[in-house]
């Protein structure tokens, strides 16, 4: 009798609990990538004039872990992760490739001149088709590519300190050891 | 004079509101079409498919009624695939292989979505079970208590007495 009286309260508490969790711990903007553990789509792109060599899917399977960073000069959030990428490239532990998404060559070159380039290679995806092949739906996104060109992980949005520590660095150190 | 003016302005307001509403509704149902295929049958197919594809930037809109850049690109891809002779399913698979089931506004029925599809049915069945149980118990309850045994002699006496009193009072008034 007492229990059935409590039933609505318990039900409500249950729903509230789920919603509370969803509100603070789930991000609806983070859609898990369909391409994890799959091979990189095939592509070949020209470099941003003056910034590194051309970028193709062949460069992603040269036997070492690489980062494929999707960036654009019109992307404000890219500035937030830029120092992190610059620092990574300064340490020289990992090659970072830049996929310049739906930009113009001039604007991209200007942006790299002003902010510095962490990229060993760059590729201009002027129409965004390579981005779509990679399942990119916002900039920045960063793919961690395995030695054989497999997509190991995908970071959506700017790389945070936490992403760097938990998702990127362990891969690099693991790859070396 | 002032009354007439008030009436006129109220009528004007009414007309403006109506026009505004119509304009707004028209705008809301506008379809973003940058180019259309020459073949109206194919264009119809493109729109049918696009209507079922989620825009990944503005999550609960389809790519047909979103003006986001990515939605425009995806619409272009749908047109391109249809022109290349793909079937509707092939076009959907093209997008699903890149963005996952999540791009479909109608989630497909498979193992992972079993709970999603079946839970409304289960909840309905469970609710029905509760209602039936509740109604049964309610209609069964009075018969159990009232007609369980005849009155004892003492109870009958009291009952007759009360009835007699009641009749007496009623007769007096």
Task: Count other Cβ atoms within 10 Å, centred on residue A98.
Answer: 28
CATH number of the domain encompassing residue A61: 3.40.30.10
What is the distance of C-alpha A118 from the center of its chain?
15
pLDDT confidence of residue B23: 60
Higher pLDDT, residue A105 or B33: A105
On average, the pLDDT of chain B sits at 82
Q: Which tens digits make up the pLDDT trace of B130-146?
A: 999 999 988 876 655 55
Q: Are B124 and A55 in contact (CB under 8 A)?
A: no
User: Which chain B residues have a beta carbon less than 8 Å from that of A35?
Assistant: 98
How far is Cα A116 from Cα A129, in angstroms, rounded to an integer? 26
Q: Which tens digits make up the pLDDT trace of B90-139?
A: 999 999 999 988 899 988 888 888 888 999 999 999 999 999 999 998 88
- State the complex-level ipTM: 0.79
Instruction: Tell me, yes or no, whether A59 lies in a domain.
Output: yes
Please state the rounded mean pLDDT for residues A92-113.
95
Instruction: Tell me, yes or no, whether A123 lies in a domain.
Output: yes
pLDDT confidence of residue A93: 87
Instruction: Tell me, yes or no, whether A82 lies in a domain.
Output: yes
Nearest CA in chain B to A129: B73
Please state the rounded mean pLDDT for residues B9-36.
65
Q: Reply yes or no on whether the pLDDT at B17 is more than 80.
A: no
Range B31-108 has CATH code 1.10.8.640: yes
For testing contact with chain A, the best of B95, B100, B103 (most A CBs within 10 A): B100
Does residue A110 sit in helix, strand or coil? helix
Percent of chain A clearing pLDDT 90 (strictly above): 78
Delimit the domains of chain B by residue range. Answer: 31-108, 113-172
Nearest CA in chain B to A31: B102
pLDDT confidence of residue A24: 87
Whether the CB of B99 is below 8 Å from some CB of chain A: the reply is yes
For testing contact with chain B, the best of A135, A143, A151 (most B CBs within 10 A): A135
Confidence category of residue B1, pLDDT binned at 50, 70, 90 = very low
* Nearest CB neighbour to B73, from listed A31, A132, A135: A132
Q: Are A102 and A33 in contact (CB under 8 A)?
A: no
Confidence category of residue A91, pLDDT binned at 50, 70, 90 = very high
Confidence category of residue A172, pLDDT binned at 50, 70, 90 = confident
Q: Reply yes or no on whether the pLDDT at B30 is more than 60.
A: no
pLDDT confidence of residue A176: 47
pLDDT confidence of residue A177: 40
Instruction: Tell me, yes or no, whether A138 lies in a domain.
Output: yes
Does residue B151 sit in helix, strand or coil? coil
pLDDT confidence of residue B169: 66
The domain of A80 spans 34-176
Whether the CB of A102 is below 8 Å from some CB of chain B: the reply is yes
* Nearest CB neighbour to A135, from listed B57, B77, B98: B98
Q: How many domains is chain A partitioned into structurally?
A: 1
What is the distance of C-alpha A63 from the center of its chain?
20
- A window 72-101, beta carbon within 8 A of B: none
């Amino acid at each position: 009798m007492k229990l059935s009286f409590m039933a609505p309260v318990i039900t409500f508490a249950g729903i509230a609990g789920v919603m509370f969790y969803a509100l603070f711990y789930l991000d609806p903007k983070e859609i898990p990538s369909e391409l994890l553990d799959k091979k990189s789509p095939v592509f070949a792109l020209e470099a941003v004039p003056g910034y590194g060599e051309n970028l193709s899917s062949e460069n992603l399977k040269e036997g070492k872990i690489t980062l494929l960073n999707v960036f654009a000069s019109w992307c404000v959030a890219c500035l937030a992760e830029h120092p992190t990428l610059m620092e990574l490239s300064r340490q020289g532990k990992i090659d970072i490739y830049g996929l310049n998404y739906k930009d113009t060559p001039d604007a991209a070159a200007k942006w790299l001149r002003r902010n510095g380039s962490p990229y060993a290679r760059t590729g201009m995806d002027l129409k965004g088709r390579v981005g779509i092949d990679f399942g990119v739906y916002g900039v920045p996104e960063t793919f961690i590519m395995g030695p054989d060109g497999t997509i190991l992980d995908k970071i959506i949005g700017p790389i945070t300190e936490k992403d760097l520590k938990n998702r990127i660095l362990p891969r690099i150190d693991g790859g070396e050891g | 004079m002032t009354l007439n003016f008030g009436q006129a302005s109220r009528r004007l307001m009414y007309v403006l509101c109506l026009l505004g509403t119509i304009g707004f509704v028209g705008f809301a149902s506008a379809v973003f079409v940058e180019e259309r295929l020459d073949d109206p049958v194919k264009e119809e197919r493109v729109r049918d498919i696009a209507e079922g594809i989620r825009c990944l930037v503005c999550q609960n809109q389809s790519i047909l009624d979103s003006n986001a850049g990515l939605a425009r690109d995806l619409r272009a891809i749908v047109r391109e695939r249809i022109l290349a002779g793909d079937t509707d399913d092939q076009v959907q698979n093209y997008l699903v292989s890149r963005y996952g089931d999540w791009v479909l506004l109608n989630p497909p029925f498979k193992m992972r979505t079993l709970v999603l599809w079946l839970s409304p049915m289960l909840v309905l069945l469970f609710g029905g079970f509760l209602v039936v149980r509740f109604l049964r118990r309610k209609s069964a309850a009075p018969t159990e208590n009232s007609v369980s045994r005849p009155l004892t002699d003492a109870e009958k006496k009291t009952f007759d007495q009360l009835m007699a009193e009641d009749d007496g009072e009623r007769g007096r008034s």
